[in-house]
Amino acid sequence: MRYKALIIAVDQYNSANALPNTVNDALEIKRLLVESPSFFKEQDVQVFKGTISRGNILLSALNSFFESAIDTDVLFLFWAGHGAFINNEGYFVPFDGDICSPNKSMIKMSEVRDMIEKTTASTVLSFFDTCHSGAITRNIQQDMHRGLEVKGAGKVLIAACTESQYAWDRGGHGAFTDYLIRGLEGEAADRNGDIDVYNLYSFVSKRLKEEFPNQSPVIKSTLNGEPMLIKRVINRSESTSVKVTTNSIEEQVSSSGLSFWLGPIIADYDEFHIKNKVEYQITLINPDSKIEQALKSMRDRYPFAIRDEADIVSIENIDIKSTREGTIIVVNLKGTGESINSIFSEMSVGGGMGKTLTPDEIAMLRIRRILFGEKVIPSGYGDSLVESMISKPINAKIQVIPNIISYLASQRYTPEKIRVMIVGSLILTGAIEKIETLSLTLDNGVITKIQLIGFRPKYYSNVDPKKIDVNETINIPI
């Protein structure tokens, strides 16, 4: 799959007012498409602006853009400039457009729409910030209904306004494009940092209508299938907050970002989908050669952790495609889906004077062993038995890794990778079933605090699961 973009900003005109904001729009859209992490490469993004934006040049570029595409391509078209609605026909106005002869000097919106409909490319994402741009969506029968996700292959057209409306400018940008930019910067991202077309449209439409009630964006689409992402970001508001004081920069990492753990691999992914409760799919674009070799050699069941989830998985299929742009690896995983909730999975330990060490207390000892390497065992109990229940619990799917934060930090792993390993270690050793909060606080490159809120597996239907709360000050350089 190759992502290509054509960005048109008609900012100068022979016979109309200049629109300098369109260049700002175009350059920001390009920046947001190609900056990492992204599906778009610099060489696959074309920008037309200034006096080169003549009718014949733009028409030739559009024809080449759509006609040269193959079925697996994803095409992104953005157009900012003047639009006209003359004799019930919508037009995009190029640099040399003449209102007295629109059919000869302008580009019909219906002509661009036909190019989009006829191209071999399976997916076209198009955005038009011009007056009367809604005219391009006329005669397309299938609407995009609010509340549905934009998914998979197909064609989508998003116009800044209806055919009878004007598109407003302010603050150095077209208002429509300004909200489009904000959405691509992360405001339209979901909690996992993913931005798909429909979420982006929903965000832009809502914010634009709040500011300009007389400007109503229009969307028409035939998209279906798996979610199609435009761009992926790590939503800073949810994953990392930064606080600058006089002498330090303090960060709080509360998301695993794009990091995942799969057996011997701790790396970053480019796409992730949960097909059902126990089937997962990871896509890696141009991964390190060592990661590619490790994936090729994997034949068994492995621990898997991503976001706030963990499972034991087997590799069902690895699809490796090499293109001129690099390597794309799609890994399909199947999990066991086993729940650690057996009544016999962890037992209490009796001690002298009627004392009892409960399963939840043993689990907390295991949590502290994993996080901080603590080896203290309460006195009055069988040391070897308690040690076995801490470090080798019978309900664990993996071995307990003691002092995991210090170990991974010494190996120069990022905070996000450390976090995803903590997620896997806590869940797959049966210490915690659900993570509500897990954050690492960094101060000038040193992990100074960890906060964990989670819940233990529920063993009895009439007893609520135990809530685990850890808020510890530490000092671990990374």
Distance CA 372, CA 369 (A): 6
Distance CA 180, CA 159 (A): 11
> Residue 460: its pLDDT value, please?
61
> Residue 36: its pLDDT value, please?
66
Distance CA 287, CA 183 (A): 27
Q: What is the per-residue DSSP string for 459-472?
A: -STTSPPPEEEEEE
Please name the fold of domain 3-232: Rossmann fold (3.40.50)
Instruction: Say if CB 119 and CB 6 are below 8 A apart.
Output: no
Distance CA 297, CA 263 (A): 11
Q: How many CB atoms are closer than 10 A to CB 447? A: 21
> Residue 347: its pLDDT value, please?
66
Paired with 107 in beta bridges are 92
Reported pTM: 0.55
Cα–Cα–Cα angle for 208, 214, 215, rounded to 5 degrees: 45
Instruction: Say if CB 426 and CB 366 are below 8 A apart.
Output: no
> Residue 236: its pLDDT value, please?
39
Distance CA 179, CA 357 (A): 57
Which residue, among 30, 76, 80, has the nearest Cα to 50 in the 3D structure?
80
How far is residue 438 from each of residues 239, 272, 415, 451, measured CA to CA in Å?
Answer: 10, 21, 12, 6
Q: Which residue shows structure tokens 């069988």?
A: 382
Q: Where are the domains of the chain?
A: 3-232, 264-335, 349-477
Per-10-residue mean pLDDT of the chain, 478 residues long, equals 88 84 87 74 89 91 94 89 89 90 92 90 87 61 29 72 85 85 79 74 88 86 60 47 55 84 91 80 87 90 93 93 78 78 58 74 92 85 80 87 95 92 95 92 91 84 80 93
Paired with 431 in beta bridges are none
How far is residue 189 from each of residues 183, 234, 236, measured CA to CA in Å?
Answer: 7, 8, 10
> Residue 152: its pLDDT value, please?
47
Distance CA 106, CA 112 (A): 12
